[in-house]
């Protein structure tokens, strides 16, 4: 791989880390970038999980220090997400993703429309509709398995669930989401490492960019709050929807 390719991966890692820290969806940039420089598809998925896990670790640490991870039962969700993601990554080898490729863009479109039409979405604490433990285990299993198996939009689905079901405001929901994303990244990464599906040289180039992007993005969330997150979230979700629909159409 050329020096230019590694430079492009650094930039892609930075952009992915920045967007992931704020609203999720950095994989829209990092996975296509890995494929574009010639990393085979099976290696691109594992490499992406490794570099993403490094950036998300920094984000989680900063959000924890800022007090954004005090939700009860969050550790149970982390465990459920980790285990379910490992199972999801294993299931990739057995089940076709074609049905998900068709379904997920429309689910993301629904998330984007719901958020756009609800102008108060995540700007204030609302009524909680589910117990903390039940929510953590239920969504930890469902979304953890989804992230390990397919992945696009997982952070957006977490944010929607936290705001709509748990009544959280976006700033706290973003902290919770990053903890779950880290758990599911690590769960899938265990499988990919065991299977030898990681390009470590490509990952190192992206990790450097990821850490820088994650630091800047998490700082913006901590200091700017929910009013800043909402428009970025909408842009990311609409972009993911368009990208996935375009891939299906092609």
Q: pLDDT for 97-126, tens place per residue?
A: 566 566 667 776 776 676 666 666 555 667
Q: Which pLDDT score, from 0 to 100, does residue 41 have?
A: 77
- Concatenated DSSP letters for 192-238? HHHHT---HHHHHHHHHHHHHHHHHHHHHHHHH-HHHHHHHHHHHHH
- Classify 52 as helix, strand or coil: helix
* Cβ pair 170, 110 in contact under 8 A: no
Place of tokens 């993911």: 240
Residue 18, number of CB atoms within 10 A of its CB: 23
CA distance 175 to 129: 20
Inter-CA distances, 20 with 12, 47, 73, 134, 179, Å: 12, 16, 23, 26, 12
* Cβ pair 202, 9 in contact under 8 A: yes
Q: Which pLDDT score, from 0 to 100, does residue 100 have?
A: 57
Query: Which residue numbers in the chain have pLDDT < 70?
Result: 93, 95-104, 108, 111-112, 114-125, 226, 248, 250
CA distance 173 to 68: 8
* Cβ pair 55, 184 in contact under 8 A: no
Tokens of 157: 């689905």
Number of structural domains (the chain) is 1
The model's pTM is 0.84
Handedness of CA 220, 225, 231, 233 (dihedral sign): positive
Over its C-alpha atoms, the chain yields an Rg (Å, rounded) of: 17
Inter-CA distances, 162 with 36, 172, 226, 232, Å: 34, 9, 13, 17
Name which of 20, 75, 97 is nearest 51 in CA terms.
20
Helices within 66-167 (DSSP H only): 74-91, 98-117, 132-149, 154-164
Q: What is the DSSP letter of 104?
A: H
- Domain span at residue 211 reads 3-249
């Amino acid at each position: 791989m050329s020096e230019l390719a590694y430079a492009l991966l650094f930039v892609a890692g930075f952009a992915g880390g920045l967007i992931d820290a704020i609203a999720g969806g950095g994989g829209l940039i990092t996975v296509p970038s890995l494929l574009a420089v010639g990393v085979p598809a099976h290696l691109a998925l594992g490499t992406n999980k490794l570099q993403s896990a490094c950036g998300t670790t920094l984000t989680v640490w900063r959000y924890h220090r800022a007090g954004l991870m005090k939700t009860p039962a969050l550790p149970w969700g982390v465990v459920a997400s980790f285990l379910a993601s490992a199972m999801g990554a294993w299931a990739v080898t057995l089940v076709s993703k074609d049905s998900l490729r068709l379904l997920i863009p429309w689910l993301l479109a629904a998330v984007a429309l719901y958020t756009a039409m609800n102008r108060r979405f995540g700007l204030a604490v609302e009524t909680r509709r589910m117990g903390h433990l039940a929510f953590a285990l239920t969504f930890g299993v469902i979304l953890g398995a989804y992230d390990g198996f397919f992945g696009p939009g997982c952070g957006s689905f977490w944010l929607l669930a936290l705001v709509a079901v748990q009544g959280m405001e976006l700033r706290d929901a973003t902290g919770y989401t990053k903890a779950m994303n880290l758990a599911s990244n690590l769960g899938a990464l265990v499988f990919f490492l065991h299977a030898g599906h990681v390009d470590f040289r490509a990952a190192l180039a992206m990790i450097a960019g990821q850490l820088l992007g994650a630091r800047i993005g998490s700082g913006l969330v901590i200091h700017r709050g929910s009013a800043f997150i909402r428009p970025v979230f909408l842009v990311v979700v609409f972009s993911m929807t368009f990208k996935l629909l375009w891939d299906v159409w092609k």
